[in-house]
Amino acid sequence: MPWHLSLTVDRNAQLPLGAQVQGSLRRLIEDGTLSSGSRLPSSRQLAADLEISRSVVVEAYEQLSAEGYLVARRGSGTVVAENVRDHPGAGSVLTSPQPEPTDATWDLRTGSSDVSTFPRQEWIRSVAAALTDAGRTELGYGPPSGVLLTRHVLVGYLGRVRGVRTQPQNLMITAGFAQGLALLCKVLRDRGHDALGVEDPGHPGEREFITSAGLRPVGIPVDADGLRVDRLEESGVRVVLTTPANQFPTGVPLSQERRERLISWARAVDGYVVEDDFDSAYLNRSERIPALQSLAPDRVVYAGSASKVLAPALRLGWMAAPSELMASVESARVGWDIGCSGIEQLAFARFITEGAHDRHQRKLRAEFRKRRELVRELLPHHLPGARVLGGDSGLQAYVELPPGVDETALVQSARARSVLVRGGTFYTLDDRTRPPALVVSYATVGCPGLKASTAALGAAYREVTGRRPG
């Protein structure tokens, strides 16, 4: 017998019904209420129980299947996947849960960095030195915005590597980019904003954050020059979240003309641009132009984190904002968590000033360049007719597929060959004009694995499209 599920949906909530159903099911699975092998009601049954359209439930089941939470079994309906609670990444809103089916060999999904390279010894040395030197002050409560020394070091560092123009009093240390975004959304909501522009395609986890903060994410399309500023101008929003250095996930940089137009827009609407500089460590030299913030520190909120270079587990991020906005963010922070770990912040300052950060980054940059070159060579070969978008930077390749290719079937076929990968629709908000696509991350798979996994993708592609390498 399929289980009856005590789920509810709120028709008056801002969160779409599908997202509510997905979120509730995910929670029930993650907290163990629904264990592996549990059978779910049929989509028809659940839709009838909740008095919602069946297509909403079908889509929720499909999404959770793509994420590895559910498995559709011929003849016995939809059941909770095996070992779904064992995955350490489950539960993070920004990264999206990444339950890892035990049978998958290669994970080409975005969201991770290569934590296997984490410089453990150098980090331990930095933490040990910070602890050894820490006196009463350092071991007590610090300023909610972060340890002053670390903010000084970061201001110098971001000025040196990204051209960021700020002062320690306008820079806050956050628990990753995620917390900075959450704080900012709260402030914007308090100031009467009800919507925030986001790139479409973009990061679905960020959209969830924005929605949870009570703001409506408004999709702004992206093309070969990055965010469509003309569409932003028509949208009515006054704040936009963007990844100008390397658009996530397409990998295109924002053109110079649009950078300038974006700043003019922010001034004209008396608004802000939120610059998510999440993977600037992996910008190729020719694409490493200064952060957008350097053009207008009074209009751009600049944010970054240690997640892509060191490890997401550190939960170390930073946000530089114009002073009047930072004052509100600081007030919000005081009632929030009284700041991040002071010892980790001091360790991070040391890690930067002793050159360990630059050394580690250089090593990773060289490794990712090798992987990128390989992927950009292999994908067009294995997926004939496909086109890899974007510049020569970042941690993933956005692969546009010929019109008509069944993206969902391709993702499923890849999965049957032990490759976890996501289709373009996973990142899409409303822009249905984009051709089908795959987003192939090379953050966690080295060159030998990339050769094998792209070949497996090629076999999946042949099965779904009938096309063979020429």
Ligand X SMILES: Cc1ncc(COP(=O)(O)O)c(C=O)c1O
Nearer to ligand X, 52 or 431 (CB): 431
Give strand ranges (E) for 298-370: 300-305, 317-320
Q: Does residue 94 belong to the site contacting ligand X (CB under 6 A)?
A: yes
Write out the two tokens for 403.
């019109």
Nearer to ligand X, 276 or 344 (CB): 276
Nearer to ligand X, 203 or 238 (CB): 203
Nearer to ligand X, 181 or 378 (CB): 181
Query: Which helix (DSSP H) or strand (DSSP E) does residue 453 occupy?
Result: helix 447-465
CA atoms of 420 and 61, how far apart (whole Å): 17
Nearer to ligand X, 78 or 307 (CB): 307
Binders of ligand X in range 106-125 (CB under 6 A): 111
CA atoms of 429 and 235, how far apart (whole Å): 15
Write out the two tokens for 427.
């990142």
Q: Does residue 307 belong to the site contacting ligand X (CB under 6 A)?
A: yes
Of 295, 307, 298, whose CA–CA distance to 254 is shortest? Answer: 295
Binders of ligand X in range 343-382 (CB under 6 A): none
In whole angstroms, the minimum distance from the beta carbon of 91 to ligand X comes to 13
Of 230, 244, 225, whose CA–CA distance to 164 is shortest? Answer: 244
Q: Which window, 129-137, 176-184, 263-271, 406-414, contacts ligand X (CB under 6 A)?
A: 176-184
Q: Which of 109, 193, 203, 382 binds ligand X (CB under 6 A)?
A: 203
In whole angstroms, the minimum distance from the beta carbon of 211 to ligand X comes to 16
In whole angstroms, the minimum distance from the beta carbon of 463 to ligand X comes to 30
- Tell me, residue by residue from 21 to 60, as one string, x for binding to ligand X by CB under 6 A and - for no binding: ----------------------------------------
Bridge partners of 239? 272
Report the number of secondary-structure helices (H) and strands (E) in the chain. 15, 16
In whole angstroms, the minimum distance from the beta carbon of 451 to ligand X comes to 25
Q: Are 202 and 242 in contact (CB under 8 A)?
A: no
Nearer to ligand X, 276 or 330 (CB): 276
Write out the two tokens for 350.
């040391």
Nearer to ligand X, 28 or 340 (CB): 340
What are the residues whose beta carbons fall under 8 Å from the beta carbon of 377, sequence distance 6 or more?
none
Q: Which of 20, 98, 293, 305 binds ligand X (CB under 6 A)?
A: 305
Bridge partners of 438? 399, 423
Nearer to ligand X, 20 or 250 (CB): 250
User: 95-100 long-range CB contacts below 8 Å, 24 or more apart?
Assistant: 95/205, 95/312, 96/67, 96/204, 96/205, 97/26, 97/30, 97/67, 97/69, 98/67, 98/68, 99/67, 99/68, 99/69, 100/68, 100/420
In whole angstroms, the minimum distance from the beta carbon of 349 to ligand X comes to 18
CA atoms of 299 and 310, how far apart (whole Å): 29
263: phi then psi, degrees, rounded to nearest 5 = -65, -40
Q: Does residue 444 belong to the site contacting ligand X (CB under 6 A)?
A: no
Q: Which of 63, 65, 78, 95 binds ligand X (CB under 6 A)?
A: 95
Q: Does residue 217 belong to the site contacting ligand X (CB under 6 A)?
A: no
Q: Which of 50, 171, 178, 237 binds ligand X (CB under 6 A)?
A: 178
Nearer to ligand X, 22 or 305 (CB): 305
Q: Does residue 276 belong to the site contacting ligand X (CB under 6 A)?
A: yes
Binders of ligand X in range 310-349 (CB under 6 A): 312, 317
Q: Which window, 80-88, 174-182, 341-349, 435-443, contacts ligand X (CB under 6 A)?
A: 174-182
Nearer to ligand X, 110 or 166 (CB): 110
Give strand ranges (E) for 160-207: 171-174, 195-200
Nearer to ligand X, 394 or 458 (CB): 394
CA atoms of 89 and 112, how far apart (whole Å): 9
Q: Does residue 398 belong to the site contacting ligand X (CB under 6 A)?
A: no
Nearer to ligand X, 70 or 309 (CB): 309
Q: Which of 177, 282, 318, 442 binds ligand X (CB under 6 A)?
A: 177
In whole angstroms, the minimum distance from the beta carbon of 177 to ligand X comes to 3
Of 231, 164, 165, 158, whose CA–CA distance to 197 is shortest? Answer: 231
Give strand ranges (E) for 396-449: 396-400, 419-420, 422-423, 437-441
- Residue 372: count other Cβ atoms within 10 Å of its Cβ: 22
Q: Does residue 248 belong to the site contacting ligand X (CB under 6 A)?
A: yes
Number of residues engaging ligand X in binding (CB under 6 A): 15
Return residues touching ligand X (CB under 6 A).
Answer: 94-95, 111, 176-178, 203, 243, 248, 276, 278, 305, 307, 312, 317
